[in-house]
Amino acid sequence: FLNHADFAAGLADLTAMPPGPTGLPQWPDFLVRLTRAPVVSIALIRGRATGNGSEITLACDMSFASREKTILSQWEVGVGMVAGGGPMARLPQLIGRNRALEVLLGSEDISGAQAEAYGYVNRSLPDAD
């Protein structure tokens, strides 16, 4: 489980951390370093991976999802926020511009089977597998 953010924290608390080694703020820095890691990264999703969880999935080299239990989304626009972990750059490369706009601007939940059909994940598998 990964909570998106501490919504009760003050803005100063959330922005006080110094930039990471890439020069980016901490969260985008982590995702860039994951993308550039010299090993293969694999996301295995069996549940809800929305917001930050989706952004980790997008930063991995491969991703596999439970067909029955996976829910992916970038919900931030639905509540008036901007997604800060790079999905606006990464999603179009995976699923194309039109579908990326649908995911990002629609803020709707996407099942494992639909994520596979879109190319959001490599493959969705029966949960038993």
Tell me the catalytic residues: 55, 76
Residues 6+ away with beta carbon under 8 Å from 50: 4, 71, 72, 73, 74, 75, 109
Distance CA 41, CA 53 (A): 14
Q: Are the CB atoms for 52 and 84 separated by under 8 Å?
A: no
User: Could you give phi then psi for residue 23, rounded to 5 degrees?
Assistant: 95, -5
CA 129 to mean position of chain CA atoms: 23
